[in-house]
Amino acid sequence: MIQGNYFEDNEDIRLHLEEITDWEEIVNAYEDDFSDAKEYQKSGDEKLAMAPGTVKDAVDYYRTIMESSGEIAGTIVSQASQPMDHEGLKYDSGKVTFPAPMVEAYEAVKDAGIMPYATNRRYGGLGIPLTVQTLLMEMTSRADAAFAIAIGCVNLAETIEKFGTQEMIDKWVPAMSRGEIVGAMALTEPNYGSDLPNVQTRAEQDENGNWKINGTKRFITHACGFDKYPSVILTLARTGKPESGARGLSFFLVEGKDVHVAKIEHKMGLHCSPTCEVVYEDTPAQLIGETGQGLVKYAMEMMNTARLSIAGQSMGIAEAAYQEAKKYAGEREQFGKLIQEIPAVKKMLNRMEREVIAMRALLQEAARTIDNYLWRKERLLHEGMSDRDVRKDETVKSWEKLANFFTPLTKYYISETCNTLAFDALQIHGGSGYTEEYDVARIYRDARITNIYEGTTQLQVVAAIGGIVSGMTPNGNLRAYIEQEMTRFQPSQELLQVKASFEEIVSIYKEVKGDLRDELAFEIVQSAARFMMGLLVERSNSRVNAEAAARRNKLVNAFNLESKAILQGNIIRIQNAIASADSSATREPAAV
């Protein structure tokens, strides 16, 4: 892997930090009138010592974290990546052994104090908004996607912080923030993957009122903990009748020492991320929150941040694919010249560059929409406002609606595209790319899971389509958002043409009925993603310095021209599907 500082060597990430992001808006949403800094002034509570007192302080703090994370990702994790992947994990009688370079890299991140990105500073976390968290996830995943998951699992502490009792929070969250306990999320079962409302692992109370769980969970990342650090497993289990569906499911905290890890999967990629089969036999468990709310409330409320995290991982893999391909193409000669000068190779590299920039703009916008509702919502709940009243709060309502559209859209688009970018990166490496000597083979393998876990692409499309249909009505929130954002810059002709095609697609889709709606949902969601990315990269370019804007304008223009072709293609596909459905309907034999 390329060695360097993954923050310093990435102009686009630096532009997001220094010029593109509206920090005034994000920091205000996160810091609540700088209440932690004010409290630190009064109480001197050391846990709040890093709380920023101004927007500028906050951005300086984020920069320091980014520099330090970029350095560790680019000089330690990235260099451990290939040996780790080749050595892999070892399983013996319920115990998993991790390769030494991975353990050393984990300790380096832990010692640097940059591990707990998702927890509150009161419990030892960094206390940073999602807009920064996604950039950290990206840089670590560029270095190694499996390693990034280990750090992500530590940050499952945020779920306990959000829904656990104060006793649970005090016991687990500070230890997780120190990296001494690793979280795992146990939802999937052998017979229920996408179909989570039907999982059947059972939780029952004994005569003393203590909960016990019985059943088997499959594909549970880090249920075995990490090296010497044990796990806590957040487990979805049925407390209602077998046929009680989503409302019969509750959420439990289980200690890793109380389950049996029956095996780890032998996988195509992510060789250093343990995917465990977990057997619960009268396993003691503590209920989190209320019964019946496990899936419909707790898992659902974590959905946007969890999807964003995998989108961040996919973004890092896409960046790694692009950077490794660019490096190889700048060194490899064929026919007496560098392959980067050969038009067919140059075309692939150009596409990778513009996709990476457009995807990052989308990812950061999805993070912005979550930052704009989540922290306010938590604050209002913490102040004692009822769940019902919080949902009526106009700021929470409008940003949450947008986030519910942006996160599945982002997860779908970036995870799918990191696969195509990894495919092209391997192609640029020629035969060498097919060997394990180069990192691109691992990048290609690791990319493949991103559009499957944390909800497959097909489920992301189902989640995003409703936001497009209702959001694009004359008074819809997505339409209002688009109109508002397009006043912030001078849109190009190409973008306006893409917008017109998107409007046409939405209006044709409105008339589609029956199963054809599900069948065509992908084309609608893809068209929305391409239009939104065009809008966001143009808006970004209106904020960066003139020199960077001039360099990037060509990329932005090429991106929108390609979108124009994709959307025109989608219009034809949709019309063909409607015509074919109509003609088969008229061919149906008349009922007798």
Ligand X SMILES: Cc1cc2nc3c(=O)[nH]c(=O)nc-3n(C[C@H](O)[C@H](O)[C@H](O)COP(=O)(O)OP(=O)(O)OC[C@H]3O[C@@H](n4cnc5c(N)ncnc54)[C@H](O)[C@@H]3O)c2cc1C
Residues serving a catalytic function are: 454
Instruction: Tell me, letter by letter, the H, E, C secondary structure of 242-288.
Output: CCCHHHHEEEEEEEHHHCEEEEECCCCCCCCCCEEEEEEEEEEEEEE
Least distance (Å) from ligand X to the CB of residue 512?
Answer: 17
Q: Name the segment binding ligand X (CB under 6 A); options: 42-50, 218-226, 306-314, 567-575.
A: 218-226
Per-residue contact string for residues 263-302; x = within reach of ligand X by CB under 6 A: ----x--x----x---------------------------
Query: Considering CB under 6 A, how many residues would be counted as binding ligand X?
Result: 19
Task: Give yes or no for a contact between 291 and 239, defined as CB atoms under 8 angstroms apart.
Answer: yes
- Calculate the alpha carbon distances from 548 to 12, 153, 232, 389, 553 in Å: 9, 36, 46, 45, 9
Which residue minimizes CB distance to ligand X?
A: 193
Q: Does an H or E element contain 97, and which?
A: strand 95-97
| Residue 273 Cβ vs ligand X, minimum distance, rounded to whole Å | 6
Binding of residue 418 to ligand X (CB under 6 A): no
Q: Quick check: 226 and 106 in contact, CB under 8 A?
A: yes
Question: Coil, strand or helix: which one is 473?
Answer: coil
Least distance in Å: CB of 187 to ligand X?
Answer: 3
- Pick the stretch among 278-286, 388-396, 450-458, 503-511 that binds ligand X (CB under 6 A): 450-458
Contact 96, 224 (CB under 8 A): yes
Q: Which residues have a Cβ under 8 Å from the Cβ of 147 and sit 6 or more positions away?
A: 77, 80, 81, 84, 102, 105, 106, 140, 272
Q: Which of 2, 112, 385, 452 binds ligand X (CB under 6 A)?
A: 452
Asked if residues 285 and 109 have their Cβ atoms less than 8 Å apart, the reply is no
Among residues 452 and 578, whose Cβ is nearest to ligand X? 452
Question: Of 95-103, 207-215, 390-398, 449-457, which part binds ligand X (CB under 6 A)?
Answer: 449-457
Binding characters for ligand X, 166-205, by CB under 6 A (x = yes): -------------------xxxx----xx-----------
**The only residue of 68, 165, 291, 456 in contact with ligand X, by rule CB under 6 A:** 456
Nearer to ligand X (CB atom), residue 201 or residue 563: 201
The nearest distance, CB 203 to ligand X, in angstroms, is 16
Choice between 275 and 372, CB closer to ligand X: 275
Instruction: State in angstroms the smallest separation of the CB of 236 from ligand X.
Output: 8
* Contact criterion met (CB below 8 Å) for 494 and 560: yes
Contact 106, 227 (CB under 8 A): yes
Q: Is 80 in the site for ligand X (CB under 6 A)?
A: no
Does 412 sit near ligand X (CB under 6 A)? no
As a whole number of angstroms, the distance between CA 531 and CA 560 comes to 8
Nearer to ligand X, 277 or 353 (CB): 277
Q: Is 219 in the site for ligand X (CB under 6 A)?
A: yes
* CA 358 – CA 22 distance, rounded (Å): 17
Q: Which of 131, 221, 419, 477 binds ligand X (CB under 6 A)?
A: 221
DSSP per position, 212-243: EEEEEEEEEETTT-BTTB-EEEEEEEE-S-TT
Judge contact between 179 and 114, C-beta under 8 A: no
Residue 525 makes contact with ligand X by CB under 6 A: no
Contact footprint for ligand X (CB under 6 A): 185-188, 193-194, 219-221, 267, 270, 275, 449, 452-453, 456, 458-459, 462
